[in-house]
Structure 1
């Protein structure tokens, strides 16, 4: 006679499996951080660089300063007057823009994207992030410290 009640071992196994899958991102981050502390090696992708385009220097300064004040960025560079060509609503357009180069931790990228989208005048602003694969350990540590108070 077969039982319709699952065995307790199966239930425990399923609970462990579900908890492991649910906690995997946190566990992975913890293991990577422990490895980094023990070995002193940089963990690729822990920091990121973002490119954000802006229509004017004042808007770029306002966004950059807000990111700094909110401690979402360790450093922001403004590249003045870049020439831009792009497709918009079926046609090629030319414009002059200011490009922001933002350094931060990868964990803050989505918060930056959300913030910039909320204040940017463009319907679809360019916000692109690139993970940092390697670099000066002292500089990368500085980035971490500069945004750590949030």
Structure 2
């Protein structure tokens, strides 16, 4: 798999429990090889005409382009926000062994015969 096939996907959850739930659901479904649940941060944004400030928990998700549509759907399903931030950035370069690991961990095991 080329480096450009690996994605970093960002989203924010309203709290640590929601963040861990989203992360676990993505790992269990093999849609992500790794999800970093980061420290809470303050987000400032405009929502429905008002400036809001919220504490959020960022998630940094390592996945592949092949899995993006299913990953986005899974995040939306597990996410409590009406309109969650879901942003994917292609990886231009990376340690080849790590990128191969991302690919391997997002590939379901072959069925036993």
TM-score scaled by length of structure 1: 0.70
RMSD: 1.2
**Unaligned residue ranges in structure 2 (runs of 5+):** none
Residue 12 of structure 2 is matched in structure 1 by: 53
* CA–CA separation in structure 1 for the residues paired with 2:34 and 2:46: 30
Of residues 45, 58, 74 in structure 2, which corresponds to 1:99?
A: 58
Greater C-alpha radius of gyration: 1
Matched residue SS, 2:38: strand
Q: Which runs of 4 or more aligned residues in structure 1 lie more than 6 Å from their structure 2 counterparts after TM superposition? A: none
Q: Is the 8 A contact 2:3 2:94 kept in 1?
A: no
Q: Deviations over 1:105-150 (max 9, x none)?
A: 1111111111111221100000100001111000000111111117
**By percentage of residues, which structure has more strand?**
2
Matched residue SS, 1:97: strand
* CA–CA separation in structure 1 for the residues paired with 2:89 and 2:23: 18
Residue 142 of structure 1 is matched in structure 2 by: 101
**By percentage of residues, which structure has more helix?**
1
Q: Deviations over 1:2-43 (max 9, x none)?
A: xxxxxxxxxxxxxxxxxxxxxxxxxxxxxxx6xxxxxxxxx3
Matched residue SS, 1:80: coil
Of residues 34, 37, 53 in structure 2, which corresponds to 1:75?
A: 34
* CA–CA separation in structure 2 for the residues paired with 1:135 and 1:55: 30
Task: Write out aligned runs for 1:18-33 (5 A).
Answer: none
TM-score scaled by length of structure 2: 0.92
**Unaligned residue ranges in structure 1 (runs of 5+):** 1-32, 34-42
- C-alpha displacement of 1:77: 0.3
Of residues 80, 89, 92 in structure 2, which corresponds to 1:133?
A: 92
